[in-house]
Amino acid sequence: MTSHKKILIDLFIEHHDRFLSIADLSALIPLGVQIDQTTIYRAVQNLEKNGLVESASTDKGHTGYVLRHSDHHHHHLICTGCGQIVSIPCHPDLWQDVANQYNFQETHHKVEIYGLCEACQKIDKHSSP
Ligand SMILES: [Zn+2]
Ligand SMILES: [Zn+2]
């Protein structure tokens, strides 16, 4: 494992409860460590390929990365205003009921919910007439 990879994994562990963009990671790199965004991007792509992190993107093209919880299946609330991504717990019974209704055998599912976070809803209200 290269030291760059180690630094990135440490950042992902430290911020395991939120998605980090390449820019976020770049800002969090400790002082005195020289890693440009291209290097971070390549390293993160590698981590994703190896299943250590997972990504989600918003309408506006923000991509966030987070440490993968193999033991903890979850979904995402994605704010299209500011790009914030929040992990939410899954309610598998809901999908199983739907699948059963269609006599469909589910193997896995992926759900991402798009909308506006609390802060962005307030901005939206202020700006509308
Ligand atoms: Zn927002
Ligand atoms: Zn689920």
Q: What is the DSSP string of 47-60?
A: HHHTTSEEEEE-TT
The answer to whether residue 46 scores a pLDDT higher than 90 is yes
Instruction: Name 113's Cβ contacts closer than 8 Å, sequence gap at least 6.
Output: 75, 76, 77, 78, 88
* Least distant ligand from the CA of 87: 2
Q: How confident is residue 48, by pLDDT bands cut at 50, 70 and 90?
A: very high
Q: Where are the domains of the chain?
A: 3-127
* Least distant ligand from the CA of 120: 1
23-42: burial string, b at 16+ Cβ within 10 Å, e else? eebeebbeeeeebeeeebee
* CA 64–ligand 1 middle distance (angstroms): 14
Percentage of residues in the chain having pLDDT higher than 70:
90
* CA 20–ligand 2 middle distance (angstroms): 21
Element (H, E) at 11: helix 3-14
pTM of the model: 0.61
* CA 84–ligand 2 middle distance (angstroms): 20
* CA 115–ligand 1 middle distance (angstroms): 8
* Least distant ligand from the CA of 76: 2
* CA 90–ligand 1 middle distance (angstroms): 22
Q: What is the pLDDT of residue 41?
A: 94
* CA 39–ligand 2 middle distance (angstroms): 33
For 56-65, the pLDDT digits (tens) are: 876 667 788 8
For 82-125, the pLDDT digits (tens) are: 877 887 888 878 888 889 999 998 887 878 889 999 999 998 77
* Least distant ligand from the CA of 93: 2
CATH number of 3-127: 3.30.1490.190
For 5-43, the pLDDT digits (tens) are: 889 999 988 887 778 889 999 999 988 888 899 999 999
